[in-house]
Structure 1
Amino acid sequence: MRYVLAFLALVVLIAGGLWMYAGTLAGPSIEIAKPVKYVGLAAPLDVTVTAPGARLKTLRIVFEQNGHATPLFSLESPSGADVRQESGDRVRITRQIGRDAIPDLKSGTGRIVVSASRPVLFGVRATQTLAARDVQVRLERPTISVVSTKHYINLGGSEAVVYRVNPPDVESGVQVGDLAYPGFPASGANDVEGVHITDPALKLAFFALRYDQDLNTPIHLYARDEAGNTGRGDFDYRPFPKPFKHSTIPLDDTFLNRVVPAILEATDEIRPQGDTLQKFLAINGELRRKNTEKIASFAKQTAAALLWAGIVFHPYTNSAVEAAFADQRTYLYQGKEVDKQVHLGFDLASVVNAPLLAANKGKVVYAAPLGIYGNCVIIDHGMGVQSLYGHLSSIGVQVGQMVEKEQEIGRMGRTGLAQGDHLHFTMLVNGQMVNPVEWWDAHWIQDRILRKLHEVAP
């Protein structure tokens, strides 16, 4: 009998030890990917729980606010959530939360609470993990309305709009089809032509109607707060068609043998195979697209204020126009069509190695070789407006340098895909290439930009 009792005591001791050990094992790991900080009228919930074999005993997600807990998910009641086993150990739960999902949701603070447990000790015991995230609840949409009047935009051209948004600190701008053009505080234009604006709710946005967009492309104001709440504002505008030229570009071996090796040596973005013509086609197509994407990325470096000095952007009056904006080009080799591309700028020719001047005051955001553009300089003039100078023989400025209007920035050349010495010049609005002719026109700038700012200035 004594041995039996000793054996039972040993069993109890071992079982107790196993029980205690099982209690020290880690519970499931919990990651609350969304929401990060805010919950709006509609917001995504994205939670991942990891456990060996994705075996969970319990999983519960609730939203706590003002002493009340609203169930969002449980293994027994998924509440319309999407549940996916992403790997052998990971389970992901996603659903929408917001006013529709939580009718009693109030503006203010709240908390997402996730509790999960997994079985251990052959399912006799479970280990639990608790994770929580505090969030701010915002349930009011931002409001946005136009202030300026008379908005006219040419195909391939630019336009400006002044509007009021509340709260003033939300993201806002102009939506043109699938392209967004951010707005900036209108007070950032106070150094231009005597404009004086103090209202933080007033914004100025430049936008474009790309050469390849339809005249019926929808255009409207947008506002979006950090909680994902959106506001929309319509405004009157009139788009106008613009005819673009068609031209033929003959290619010969002399040109191809000069430009193709030089461009490929200066870039690591493409490594085309084949003969010289095939490599040229890769440069003219694939590399051109990559260059366009890179150019668009510099819009993120724009200043929040206008940096211009004077009204007109320097028009290069002592030069001959060799090609205009949005020329539809057909390339011929040995009399046969081999490619089609669109020329998004002006080609301006002068004397060989002529000095090139900054179109207006601004900050250099790029100064280096850039694929088909050869030696290239991009100057930021603020609020998404930038100018590009291509095919330079030499560059005379550095990234980060402030330049004055008509300051020399380099010398004319024929680097990149240039057949002869000239400047490739274009203007950019939030990274989109636009017709520079408008920016050379003092009347256009006065009517389309300055008039609108003066109308809202006190």
Structure 2
Amino acid sequence: MRKLLAVLLVALVGLGLVWFLAGRAAGPTITLASPSSVIGQKTPLKFDVYAPGGALTDMSVRLEQGGQATALGTLAAPQALKVAPGADRVSVAGEIGRSVAPGLKTGTATLVIEATRPVLFGLRRVSSVVRKDLQVRLTPPTLAVLSQFHFINQGGAEVVVYQVNPADVPSGVRVGDREFVGLPAAGAGIPNAAPGLRVVFFPFLFNESPAAPVSLWARDEAGNQARASVDAKVTPKQFRKSTIPLDDAFLQKVVPAILQNTPDLQVADANDLLGSYLTINRELRKRNNDTIRQISLTRSAKEILWRGPFRQMMNSAVEAGFADERTYTYQGKDVDKQVHLGFDLASLQNAPIHAANRGVVVFAGFLGIYGNCVIVDHGMGLQSLYGHLSSIGVQEGQTVEMNAELGRSGQTGLAGGDHLHFTMVLQGEFVNPVDWWSSQWIEDRVMRKLRAAGAPAVAVPTP
């Protein structure tokens, strides 16, 4: 009997110890992704709860302010929360702010997230709590358009000068459903600019409806938004249509060279020249244009580098224009359609190619359909591109003045003959260079607005 009692005592002590240790196990790990510090009318809420097997017995979210608590959802009743179980975590997303807590006021509020997981085969539970103090901002930013006479050519560019408050919120111009970012006015040569004074150079795409609304946007960290209409008049443009006949001699000339220089491009059969060409003309074209857009969006100076109107290639003839719609034929049949987003300019064979304006080289190398290519950044989202070069004479990071030699014309990439493919890119989108070649356009559309905002007449001098 004593032995039995001893065994029972040891067992009870062991069970008690197991019970005690199970209760001291770590609760679920709660990782809050957003909000970080501020909430407003409607702010994204996102967090993950990590537990073995993603097993939770309970989870709750609430917002506390002034002794009052607003329940946002639980595991059993998520309300507006979206709960997505995973292998070892539960992901939760939703919104936080006055939209779900109508009594919320400007000041400080506390987000409280609690989660519980089972331990000891579900006999016990352990919990974790995260409390996050947040600033409540309920007033949206304010916007005011300061510039006037916004006349836009379809496929071209425009500039707007405006004021935003608070000065540190992201803002810019929206055309249709595309947003373009404004930059501090000091970068446009406006001295002693007010903190929230902004200048935005933005594109109006060639395939955008002329009726697309143009407006300012601003959005703060709390998710509060503001919008202001921009008085803009868009002039529709008619773009050419052309037919490009393909033959075996041309395919044999361009396809192997591009495949050799783009080894990661997958084609069904390298010996199928037409099939490979179509892959190049479609997939590689898209990939190259995505690369150009990314360079424009991430590698542009915050201030204007250019000076006065841009210069077209000297003594050049226009072989193809901007936004020409091309139909490609082979043996009398239509095989592809693409839009040519630049100018083809022809001069002498192996002609020197000069920088259209002052800037910094941000790309110099082989770029698929564009062959040997140079991209020059002119600041505030504006860049110029020079394609099909036979040779490149500059390096990335090099500052070049207007008329500096960048290389020599050629027929690399998808060029059918020796010429320069020239285009301009603004905030990630291709725009018609014609505007930027015009001294009158530069004066009327850009300089007049910058001077009205306080820029000296010499901020962007004519060369």
Structure 1 and Structure 2 fold alike (TM over 0.5): yes
Deviation, 1:356, is 0.9
Q: Which moved more, 1:212-221 or 1:74-83?
A: 74-83
TM-score by length of 1: 0.93
Q: In the alignment, residue 272 of structure 1 is paired with which amino acid?
A: V
Structure 2 CA distance for partners of 1:67 and 1:400, relative to 1, 3 Å: farther
Structure 2 CA distance for partners of 1:348 and 1:75, relative to 1, 3 Å: closer
Counterpart of 2:367 (choices 348, 370, 384) is: 370
1:276-355 alignment to 2 at 5 Å?
276-299=273-296, 300-309=298-307, 311-355=308-352
The one-character-per-residue Cα deviations of 1:360-406 (angstroms, maximum 9, x if unpaired) are 11111111111111001111101111100001111111111111111
Secondary structure at the counterpart of residue 418 of structure 1:
coil
1:101-116 alignment to 2 at 5 Å?
101-116=100-115
Count of residues in correspondence between the two structures: 452
Residue equivalent to 1:139: 138
Residue equivalent to 1:74: 74
Q: In the alignment, residue 205 of structure 1 is paired with which amino acid?
A: V
TM-score by length of 2: 0.92
Secondary structure at the counterpart of residue 274 of structure 2:
helix
The one-character-per-residue Cα deviations of 1:339-369 (angstroms, maximum 9, x if unpaired) are 2221111111111111111111111111111
Aligned mates of 1:4, 1:428 — CA distance in 2: 87
Tell me the C-alpha RMSD between the 2 structures: 2.1
Counterpart of 1:217 (choices 212, 216, 220) is: 212
Q: Does 1:127 align with 2:122?
A: no
Q: Percent identity?
A: 52
The one-character-per-residue Cα deviations of 1:212-266 (angstroms, maximum 9, x if unpaired) are 1111122211111122221101011111111212222222222111111111111
Residue equivalent to 1:396: 393
* Alpha-carbon contact 2:54-2:86 (below 8 Å) kept: no
Q: In the alignment, residue 415 of structure 2 is paired with which amino acid?
A: A
Aligned mates of 2:54, 2:312 — CA distance in 1: 67
> Gapped runs of 5+ residues in structure 2?
456-463
Residue equivalent to 1:176: 175
Q: Which moved more, 1:330-339 or 1:165-174?
A: 330-339
Q: Which moved more, 1:116-125 or 1:349-358?
A: 116-125
Deviation, 1:67, is 5.1
Deviation, 1:177, is 1.7
Counterpart of 1:441 (choices 420, 438, 442) is: 438
Counterpart of 2:378 (choices 378, 381, 387) is: 381
Deviation, 1:68, is 4.5
Q: In the alignment, residue 162 of structure 1 is paired with which amino acid?
A: V
Structure 2 CA distance for partners of 1:188 and 1:78, relative to 1, 3 Å: same
Aligned mates of 2:268, 2:122 — CA distance in 1: 61
* Alpha-carbon contact 1:163-1:202 (below 8 Å) kept: yes
Residue equivalent to 2:10: 10
Aligned mates of 1:401, 1:98 — CA distance in 2: 48
Counterpart of 2:248 (choices 245, 248, 253) is: 253
* Alpha-carbon contact 2:214-2:231 (below 8 Å) kept: no
Secondary structure at the counterpart of residue 257 of structure 1:
helix
Secondary structure at the counterpart of residue 173 of structure 2:
strand
> Gapped runs of 5+ residues in structure 1?
none
Residue equivalent to 1:150: 149
Aligned mates of 1:377, 1:52 — CA distance in 2: 53
Aligned mates of 1:385, 1:348 — CA distance in 2: 20
Deviation, 1:103, is 2.4
Residue equivalent to 1:188: 187
Secondary structure at the counterpart of residue 206 of structure 2:
coil
* Alpha-carbon contact 1:186-1:197 (below 8 Å) kept: no
